[in-house]
Amino acid sequence: MPISAISAVGSVGGTTSAAAAAGTTASGGAAFGDALTGAIDNLQSLQGTSDKLAIQAVTGNLDDIHDATIASSRAQVTLELVAGVRNKAVDAFNEIMRMQA
């Protein structure tokens, strides 16, 4: 999965993430780290929004339940994406560690 896919996650929540800016200024491992940091920051924002809307739905203060459903789905899909990237990064690291010099 290309790193640019993580940058696209930043646009889902409507916020500008460090991942989008890092692609042009950093190189190598720093760019990957910045992209992951931006994706995790965006994930936390999406989960916060989802939690806030879920509380409003439970208390009866939410006008449109669709907003809560969409926010929950966005947070879930983003979490799955970040977890998938993390798993691939760990697999790649383990493969590098198995290589012989």
Q: What pLDDT score was predicted for residue 7?
A: 47
Q: Is 10 exposed, middle or buried (0-12, 13-18, 19+ CB in 10 A)?
A: buried
Report the domain count for the chain: 1
Full pLDDT tens readout for the chain, 101 residues: 444 444 444 444 444 444 444 445 556 778 888 988 998 999 999 999 999 999 999 999 999 999 999 999 999 999 999 999 999 999 999 999 999 75
Residue 56 corresponds to which tokens in the numbers above? 């409003």
CB count in 10 Å sphere of residue 60: 6
Which tokens go with 74? Answer: 């966005």
For the full predicted model, state whether its pTM sits above 0.85: no
Domain that holds residue 89: 4-98
How far apart CA 54 and CA 15 sit, in angstroms, is 20
Residue 6's pLDDT is 45
The pLDDT, as a whole number, for residue 35 is 87
> Which tokens hold the place of 79?
């979490």
Helix pair angle (29-59, 4-12), 10° resolution: 30
CA distance 79 to 44: 9
Residue 53: predicted pLDDT: 94
